[in-house]
Structure 1
Amino acid sequence: MITEEEENGEIRYFCCKGCQGVYHLLRSEGLDTFYDKLGKNRLEPPKELSDDLHKFDLEGFRKKYIVERSDGLYEIFLIIEGIHCAACVWLNEKVLHQTPGVVEATINYTTNKAHVVWDPEAIKLSQIIEKIRAIGYNAYPYDPKLQEERANKARRDYYSRLLVAIFATMNIMWIAVAQYTGMFTGMRSDVKAVLNVAEWVLATPTLFYSGWVFFRGAWFGLKNRFVNMDLLVASGASLAYIYSLWAMITGKGEVYFDSVTMIITFVLAGKYLEVLSKKRAADTMDALSNALPTEIMVIENDEKVMVPVEEVKPGDIIEVRPGEKVAIDGVVVAGEGSFDESSLTGESEPIYKRPGDEIVSGSVAIDGVVRYEATKDYGSSMLTTLVGLLEESLTKKPKIERLANEISGYFSLTILSIALLTFVGWFWMTGEFERALVVAISVIVIACPCALGLATPVATLIGINLAARRGVLFKEAAYIETMAKADVLVLDKTGTITEGKPHVVSYEAYGEYDPNWLYALAKSSIHPVSQGIVRYLNEHHERLEEVPLQKVKQVQARGITAEFEGHTLLGGNAKMMQEFGIDVDEESEYTLFYFAVDGKAVARFELRDLPKQGAKEAIEQIRKLGIDIVMLTGDNEKAAARVAEEVGVPHFKAGLFPEEKAKEIDILHAEGHVVVMAGDGINDALALSKSDIAIAMGSGSDVALEVSDVVLLDDRITSLRDAFLISRRTYKFVKQNLALSVIYNSITIPLAVAGYVIPLVAALSMSLSSLMVVGNSMRIKSAFKTK
């Protein structure tokens, strides 16, 4: 719908109210020159986009993507398509903030993810989307699958550009060898012209297709008044290309198309490594949401009804069965059973719940049917609150500033200034435009920050590959640097230091019995203790058979009963034995399991969660690196003290909830420490997100894996030691590479300014500096014997 207005006798036309609003917004901010740059292009939403706006107001769309808050406001996460720089973020946020009805709008530049809150009484979502489209962008609901496709598309794009560049460089070098040979042995002018054209054919797609990313980066950098490495690469390659094109057409001078392709290829390789190492922008919240049921069973008028979790209100009676996950906090009103809270508290043993006990969302029912009264709604339950805290923590997590970027920010502007002054000086002294241009290009090319740009990614790539061979996955190269600077390691206990499952540590037989009976009885239960008995029997007996038991019954939070060929079998704790009139010894600091046949105890097992193999040695070696180690666990004080003593952890705190673990991380940060944390459960996710480097065990929860920066693929704590050793050595070589690059430029740039270096030698010298960096980085492997 065309909108028009008159101002000072001049009529202005707008494609919609959105564009009209943006026009006045830009004018009020002094940015109306935007329309001068726009030229004759019309800024309007495409018709095909306008036609689908109605879907954003449909009821089905609202239920799927929009969250209705308790204060009546709506909120949604959108992906803003078309954002290229910080200015784009500013413009979108500014427009949304100026839109009546929009309460909040924040955009993450890294992920292009926008969080929008609005008043549905004042504005519709379709109008918000239309406003975004009116200023030249597009918006759609956040979907992790679409984000993964977007990331894969970016990787494929860089890959195809790099393939073209490598192909052209390899072939152009063969031609260059012939030309260099001809300079000394003689070459007919017509042959030389053909070779020049062949090089031009190869250099052109390299510059304008493969090198497009540098032109685009340089353009957005200039728009924001920032001289970056992209501008230096683009200007050096472009000037060499333009001069070579002139030399090819006129037949005067030498062409340097090989320099063009080498510049683009080397730096693009570094860019591609950067893209590969970027952390996947999938939302951690989705992993948490998928872990919870979308519907739960509510008791209404003595009838069981499946109700969406969002519709449950405090006071509703909820039924949970074995194997089901609790979605809403509450208090038990009927029934009793064991609940696994390890994903929240880290407690290694199931917790027995009876009427009056609290149940927290995120825990899993192991045995018994329990009914409980909801004390909170879905939005304020334990796990949902944890999600909110985690979301806030992730958005506030500081970005890592790389040393190379800090140097290159000043380096690029300095080199361009030197090149310009060199051109002016030589032209003033000699009056020869060609000579002045060649010297200026030599300055840019020889100082082209290939070595500087590759100093970090090449060393870190080697470090990442070495780490991967040793079971350590760094999700982003920059994390190696941060981990190398760490001075405190925080460890979760269950599943990180220990194996996270009970093992038999003591066995006593009171009489003879058939181990097949116990094997069948223990296998009939999913309880962690029963599974520990199964593992023990498998390790100590051969050819066990699972005999067919009858009348198998799970006794809530106590054990199992069954019958076989007229015999009564019992397996469980001391309380169960006593209930069946069997006298047993209860004294032990570990978990006890008894096996009884026909009313007589025949075996006694003691179980506990054991430290992982090599944990003590690995922790000792990490401490020798000067890293202090702290253990934070939700388990009880006694169990925590025992494990800390066994593996040599000097400091620990027990009985902590997720938010308390996170507070301990904040305290360490306040004291000036760089903190690395390793954990494996949902209970660790918040603390992991607060740490400078988050490390997840490979067998840990999906949430811990999503929020982590480093994953120990083989689940071994010795891999944690290797991660520290590799990161420190890699960072050492990164600093060496940067120093080599600075020294190289300090020597070669003055030579180029003095006119002693032609572009050909400059390109070869640039390549030599890159090879020097790569060769030095290869030495990282020398300290480790890879698997």
Structure 2
Amino acid sequence: MSTATTIESTPRYWNEEPSNRPDRVRIRARIGGLHCSLCTGTIEKALGRQPGVDKVAVSLTHEQALIEYDPKVARPEELFRTLRDIGYTVSDPRKVRPFEEEERDLVREGRRFLAATAFSLIAIALIAHPTGIAAIALPTVVVASLLAFVFLVLRARGLGTAVGGTIALAAIALALVPLKEQAWFEAATPWIAGVMALILVFGVGNHILRMAFQALRRGILNQHVLLEIGAFAGIVGGLMGFVLDLPGYPTAPFFAVTVMVTTYHIFSEWLSLIVKTRSSQAVKRLLDLQPETARVVRGNQELELPIEDVRVGDLVRIRPGERVPVDGQVVSGHSAVDQSFVTGEAIPVEKSEGDAVVGGSINGTGTLLVKVTAIGEGSFLNKVIREVEDARALKPGLLHLVDRVLRVYTPAVLIISALAFGGWLIGSWLVTGEMNIARAIFAGLSVLVMGYPCAVGISAPLSIVRGAGEAAEQGILMRTGEAFQAYRLVSTIVLDKTGTLTEGRPKVREIDVFDGTEEELLALAAAAEASSEHPLAQAVVDAAFQRGAVPPDVQSFEAIPGKGVVARTDKGEVLVGSPAFLAGRGTDISHAEERIRRLENAGRTVIAVGRDGRALGILALGDTLRADAVHAIATLRKSGLKTVLLTGDNERAARRVAQEVGLDEVHAGVLPDGKADIVRKLQTNGRRVAMVGDGINDAPALMQADVGIAMGGGTDIAIESADIIILSNRLDTLNIARDISRRSYRKMLQNITLAFLFNGVGIPVAVTGLLYPVWAMAAMAVSVTVIFFNSLWGRPTLFIDAILSVGRPVGRAAESASP
């Protein structure tokens, strides 16, 4: 089947999104085969030149492309065929890539690398002179180091054959060094090196050649083109040795450079794939927490069905000790549920009728009957995994600068290489009367090798990928690139009260009735609050339900954000809200002012209830501070942050909470739109502000802040407005997220500096023609290795563990995580 047929018959290779222009279509697709930032430039150029395409944005770490085009001119099938022709793969961005598929890619790249390593070892042995301590030390040290590395990888299943073959070839390489003293072997050396170069370029690394050809065909200069120009320059230099037959001409070394250049590219591809894959796989294994079957109650029957057959609205019974198979709401039963493997909360959470449960959590000693609210892609676990994958799309401003540099980097290297080659040819002829062809090729080839751009291209993304993975392990989702760059610079952190500093589960603590009974008061209040999602409203409804108060039917409902609600019932117009709200509507509550003041001084939130202009009573609600609130705020202040409380609650209750947790500043009684204004004022004089919230009323402030942080238990609107999501709802992770932001940005700066330092120093040295291409290749291998290890610094086992796990069958996380 042709590529075109495959794409046209599978329209789910892309996902349509709304565009800002009505006459344009925006689509998103996952792109496989991205290696460094130059790959993103390749795709952006290739698609940007297509008729009808207005905008293309490609993220290396996200591995996705966003395309906006005119549907009258361009077709998605043709656009994605272009990407496939270049050598990239296209898949649906909405689907989580299976673990097994990623492992197959790692095993394939690992085999390529091991095969290329074997050829490089033999090439080093062939060109090393058998006399001299330094000459013998080079291949010995390299071979010994790589053999040690190979033995580590030997444990990885699926690579056994390749490893065994590499070890055998490496042993042969060691034996070749003393053989060079034999005249017959010295004559055969160039031929052996040439054959290996051809096998590596046209065999093991043929995917690079294919991508370079397709890029050149479209007039695009990227790292694949640069690599192949260097590889073919080495081959041409070697072939010239056969043709010219000049004494002392370095035929074998030219072929050896081709071998090592290709090996280096495969090596950097493999390492990039390992880091990118492992950064999110720990979270992807959350899917293994979900049981494969569920006990569904239908009618009078209880059926054990595969999870794929469960539907939204089904009733699922969860027995003691079982994992919750779906997201849902408890219909009946009571139990403590362990959510630690999902949200990081160590203490089991009590669940009863009306409470939400998350798939993957562990039921305690009670039996629960749960109504399914979400399955498959809509489940909490899948959303978390998609957020982690989205976190790999992070692109701080500094990375945009690197991308702009890389757009001109490859052409600049090619020009310098050509000038070095031509300069040595002409210069040597003018000085000596003869062209020094070998030295000219050495100079041009060394520039190509030293200027290979992948060290620059992977320097910034690697630090971001590592940081996103580290944050995810802590239950922190970094959703935007600016979260990494800006959060470290924040000087003020603003916190909402209800659901952020407190548990977000307020309860009615006191009831004062002015007219009628408690049941009547609660019934009317619940009728007005039933349509609201605010935690205080839910607390009123719960209190009415517990006392058996039946709310009257509501004919109309009006909410005044931050103040209260007006409900028209068959028993009259009911007002529920702050005392000031009722007073402003003409309801006299002056006789209760002293009682209200005492309750607010005690930290209560007071809601007044009135009907037809007459005050019926007040409800005093109280919430519990989060257990880690005091310690978390103290840690933030110790790190130099100014802490501010921003709430719609009354002044006295807000100050009571601020005093308990040790906040610096309080803004109380603030309406939702006023919260954004407060944040804007705090941002004056260039101060950077982070806002932490969880409710719909926090969304404007989250958007206004330099960094918006949403608690994972909050509303969808708040979460969508945030740059950072705290899944665990633990306040102490606010400081952890800031530390990760600082470390990641520092690593990014270090990596970029190292990359440009290697290339910036190496290219001028290579122009002199005094740098042996093999040594240039060794220097570039060192540069990319240093960048990788710098990215992983502080977690020394991360890289080795990642390598050792390649190809291993993965047991279900549920088994290893069981209590």
Q: TM-score, normalised by structure 2?
A: 0.51
Aligned to 2:115: 171
Take 1:157 and 1:631, find their aligned partners in 2: how far apart are those partners?
A: 47
1:238 to 223, 226, 229: 229
Aligned to 1:724: 738
Code of the aligned partner of 1:238: I
Q: Is 1:588 aligned with 2:596?
A: no
Within 5 Å, which residues of 2 pair with 1:494-513?
494-502=498-506
1:751 to 1:479, Cα distance in 2 relative to 1, 3 A: same
Code of the aligned partner of 1:259: V
For these two proteins, the number of residue pairs brought into alignment is 512
Take 1:274 and 1:683, find their aligned partners in 2: how far apart are those partners?
A: 36
Aligned to 2:252: 253
1:473 to 1:137, Cα distance in 2 relative to 1, 3 A: closer
Code of the aligned partner of 1:234: V
Cα displacement string for residues 320-365 of structure 1 (whole angstroms, at most 9, x for unaligned residues): xxx9xxxxxxxxxxxxxxxxxxxxxxxxxxxxxxxxxxxxxxxxxx
1:433 to 1:159, Cα distance in 2 relative to 1, 3 A: farther
Deviation of 1:180 (Å): 1.9
Deviation of 1:414 (Å): 4.5
Deviation of 1:721 (Å): 0.5
**2:120/2:263 contact within 8 Å kept:** no
Q: Report the more deviating stretch, 159-168 or 210-219.
A: 210-219
Structure 1, unpaired ranges of 5+: 1-45, 54-64, 96-105, 117-127, 140-145, 224-229, 279-322, 324-396, 508-521, 537-548, 558-572, 576-584, 594-603
Deviation of 1:718 (Å): 0.5
Code of the aligned partner of 1:480: F
Take 1:466 and 1:451, find their aligned partners in 2: how far apart are those partners?
A: 22
Take 1:747 and 1:177, find their aligned partners in 2: how far apart are those partners?
A: 27
SS at match of 2:226: helix
Aligned to 2:264: 262
**2:44/2:57 contact within 8 Å kept:** no
Cα displacement string for residues 696-734 of structure 1 (whole angstroms, at most 9, x for unaligned residues): 222223343344332222211111111111211332233
**1:459/1:730 contact within 8 Å kept:** yes
**2:395/2:481 contact within 8 Å kept:** no
The alignment-based identity, stated in percent, is 25
2:44 to 82, 85, 98: 85
2:420 to 409, 419, 422: 422
Cα displacement string for residues 427-478 of structure 1 (whole angstroms, at most 9, x for unaligned residues): 2234244432232121221232343333323333333333333332334666
1:658 to 1:115, Cα distance in 2 relative to 1, 3 A: farther
Cα displacement string for residues 655-702 of structure 1 (whole angstroms, at most 9, x for unaligned residues): 444444344445555643334333323333344344443322222233
Cα displacement string for residues 140-167 of structure 1 (whole angstroms, at most 9, x for unaligned residues): xxxxxx9954676799999877654442
Take 1:245 and 1:705, find their aligned partners in 2: how far apart are those partners?
A: 58
Code of the aligned partner of 1:427: L
Code of the aligned partner of 1:472: I
Deviation of 1:484 (Å): 2.3
1:247 to 1:688, Cα distance in 2 relative to 1, 3 A: farther
**2:226/2:452 contact within 8 Å kept:** no
Within 5 Å, which residues of 2 pair with 1:468-547?
468-475=472-479, 479-502=483-506
Within 5 Å, which residues of 2 pair with 1:388-407?
400-402=397-399, 404-405=402-403
Structure 2, unpaired ranges of 5+: 32-41, 82-89, 131-177, 243-250, 281-328, 330-393, 429-434, 512-525, 554-576, 580-594, 608-617, 799-819
Aligned to 2:791: 777
**1:155/1:276 contact within 8 Å kept:** no
Take 2:461 and 2:655, find their aligned partners in 1: how far apart are those partners?
A: 42
Code of the aligned partner of 2:252: G
Aligned to 2:471: 467
SS at match of 1:440: helix
**1:483/1:676 contact within 8 Å kept:** yes
Take 2:76 and 2:726, find their aligned partners in 1: how far apart are those partners?
A: 46
SS at match of 1:610: coil
Code of the aligned partner of 2:484: I
Aligned to 1:28: none
**1:277/1:475 contact within 8 Å kept:** no
Within 5 Å, which residues of 2 pair with 1:601-620?
607-620=621-634
Deviation of 1:423 (Å): 1.2
Code of the aligned partner of 1:554: V
Take 1:729 and 1:66, find their aligned partners in 2: how far apart are those partners?
A: 34
Within 5 Å, which residues of 2 pair with 1:270-669?
270=272, 400-402=397-399, 404-405=402-403, 408=406, 412=410, 414-430=412-428, 431-475=435-479, 479-502=483-506, 552-555=548-551, 588-589=599-600, 590=604, 607-667=621-681
Deviation of 1:766 (Å): 0.9
Q: Report the more deviating stretch, 399-408 or 723-732.
A: 399-408
Take 1:751 and 1:550, find their aligned partners in 2: how far apart are those partners?
A: 81
1:736 to 1:681, Cα distance in 2 relative to 1, 3 A: same
1:701 to 715, 720, 734: 715
Code of the aligned partner of 2:397: I
Aligned to 2:179: 186
Q: Is 1:736 aligned with 2:738?
A: no
Code of the aligned partner of 2:505: K
Code of the aligned partner of 1:244: I
Aligned to 2:726: 712
SS at match of 2:732: helix
Take 2:658 and 2:232, find their aligned partners in 1: how far apart are those partners?
A: 65
Take 2:236 and 2:109, find their aligned partners in 1: how far apart are those partners?
A: 19
SS at match of 2:505: strand
Take 1:468 and 1:138, find their aligned partners in 2: how far apart are those partners?
A: 31
Code of the aligned partner of 2:459: A
**1:679/1:704 contact within 8 Å kept:** yes
Deviation of 1:177 (Å): 1.5
Cα displacement string for residues 496-553 of structure 1 (whole angstroms, at most 9, x for unaligned residues): 222211269899xxxxxxxxxxxxxx9xx999689989999xxxxxxxxxxxx99944
1:689 to 1:434, Cα distance in 2 relative to 1, 3 A: farther
1:759 to 1:527, Cα distance in 2 relative to 1, 3 A: closer
Take 1:219 and 1:89, find their aligned partners in 2: how far apart are those partners?
A: 15
Aligned to 1:382: none
1:614 to 1:216, Cα distance in 2 relative to 1, 3 A: farther
**2:279/2:470 contact within 8 Å kept:** no
Deviation of 1:93 (Å): 6.6
Deviation of 1:219 (Å): 7.6
Please provide the CA RMSD for this pair. Answer: 5.6
**1:446/1:763 contact within 8 Å kept:** yes
1:89 to 1:644, Cα distance in 2 relative to 1, 3 A: farther
Q: Is 1:680 aligned with 2:694?
A: yes
1:458 to 1:428, Cα distance in 2 relative to 1, 3 A: same
SS at match of 1:611: coil
SS at match of 2:424: helix
**1:459/1:777 contact within 8 Å kept:** yes
Code of the aligned partner of 1:466: E
Code of the aligned partner of 1:240: A
SS at match of 1:499: coil
Take 1:90 and 1:665, find their aligned partners in 2: how far apart are those partners?
A: 43
Q: TM-score, normalised by structure 1?
A: 0.52
SS at match of 2:493: strand
Code of the aligned partner of 1:420: A
2:202 to 201, 204, 216: 204
**2:17/2:28 contact within 8 Å kept:** no
1:473 to 1:606, Cα distance in 2 relative to 1, 3 A: same
Take 2:709 and 2:265, find their aligned partners in 1: how far apart are those partners?
A: 37
SS at match of 2:506: strand
